[in-house]
Structure 1
């Protein structure tokens, strides 16, 4: 059984926790809002435990279930406590005011920014940024396992993330090195723009990306 830590207590934190618990992994939730964190842990039930920001990180895999802008600050707060850990960034650096631009300079990505500020002994991976919370919690779309695209420079780290993804009933897809996250984040600029557009009646925040066949 893999011990995982999820930093954050929002909808995506819950969805990832549900999938990890379904795979019989134990889950540690670390959140800044104590009441919200307690409520989440209690709703998840057996296998979940909680703690406040800055608590000891118990999981070998650490999911940053926080919005863009907080990821860098999070790895700075935890510092060397993340050394030797696999850090999974799920964020999308999309300008939520208009859903028409990325908030990172061309030629880089949110996760690469996080990697630059994380412990040099941590292994940073991009995954789950193409998943929305509701379908992720369900684990499937149109009766098929949800796809999780994974980018990273450490093959060993990607293998570990792929293993917990597969065990949770999802389909891991290795898309290559960490720089491929630029395309994953840009893809979600388009998808999120469709969700938010009043002219797109056929899209909503339950939309999922699935490669077929």
Structure 2
């Protein structure tokens, strides 16, 4: 499948890496062309036989991943408009007030994914995924010899199936946790996972793993 990765930061780099490792085409998207071009060139050197390009705006694709903080993700959702119609839109953010690390930015009866779904409308299928994985481990797709678990929430079963396909092709394990409202729980879990990094000196090398 063709995947837009919006944002050339650590998470964007990691998700693009997994996509290319899984044999998918990637377009790195950023309004400032220089960082998007730089990341695309870096990835093409690592995956010389892959389809990897860059763009200043969201293009037609099967999937667009918003690898962005909450406020920036909302801005792209508002501005991308018709370019997102018919696509699966993956929200990966944890909407945390990073100035205090003491609160989430969404209403208590909502989530970042649900707020984005309201903005983009029903022609776009929003899926929550990757918010409980950290970039360093996501680059390799594993932790301590175990494939990473990617928890997925969404209201459209076909859209979740496509994201699960992407996750499996990238040597990770998808876990469907239910409808899009479960993004509230995933974002709470992501917040907790982030908040314990410093007290436990985990250095962003921990992963949430479901074991039988």
TM-score (norm. length: structure 1):
0.94
Alignment match, 2:22: 23
* Pairwise CA distance, 1:35: 1.4
How many residues align? The count is: 207
Alignment match, 1:107: 109
Whole-angstrom CA distance in 1 between matches of 2:5 and 2:129: 13
**2:146 aligned residue (137, 144, 147):** 144
Equivalent pair of 1:150/1:172 in contact (CA under 8 Å): yes
Paired residue secondary structure (1:27): strand
Whole-angstrom CA distance in 1 between matches of 2:65 and 2:99: 26
Alignment match, 2:188: 186
Deviations 1:121-148 (A, max 9, x none): 0100000001110000010011011000
Alignment match, 1:11: 10
Whole-angstrom CA distance in 1 between matches of 2:26 and 2:97: 31
Equivalent pair of 2:60/2:84 in contact (CA under 8 Å): no
Equivalent pair of 1:100/1:189 in contact (CA under 8 Å): no
Deviations 1:141-176 (A, max 9, x none): 110110000000000100011001101101000000
Whole-angstrom CA distance in 1 between matches of 2:191 and 2:130: 14
Paired residue secondary structure (2:73): helix
**2:85 aligned residue (70, 75, 83):** 83
Paired residues for 1:127-206 under 5 Å: 127-195=129-197, 197=198, 199-201=199-201, 203-206=202-205
Whole-angstrom CA distance in 2 between matches of 1:97 and 1:194: 16
Cα RMSD, aligned residues only: 1.1
Structure 1 residues without counterparts, runs of 5 or longer: none
Whole-angstrom CA distance in 1 between matches of 2:169 and 2:141: 11
Equivalent pair of 1:82/1:119 in contact (CA under 8 Å): no
Equivalent pair of 1:99/1:192 in contact (CA under 8 Å): no
Deviations 1:87-107 (A, max 9, x none): 000000011122221111111
* Pairwise CA distance, 1:36: 1.1
Whole-angstrom CA distance in 1 between matches of 2:18 and 2:140: 8
**2:55 aligned residue (51, 56, 61):** 51
Whole-angstrom CA distance in 1 between matches of 2:200 and 2:166: 34
* Pairwise CA distance, 1:70: 1.2
Any runs of at least 4 consecutive aligned residues in structure 1 with deviations exceeding 6 A, and if so which? none
Equivalent pair of 2:60/2:83 in contact (CA under 8 Å): no
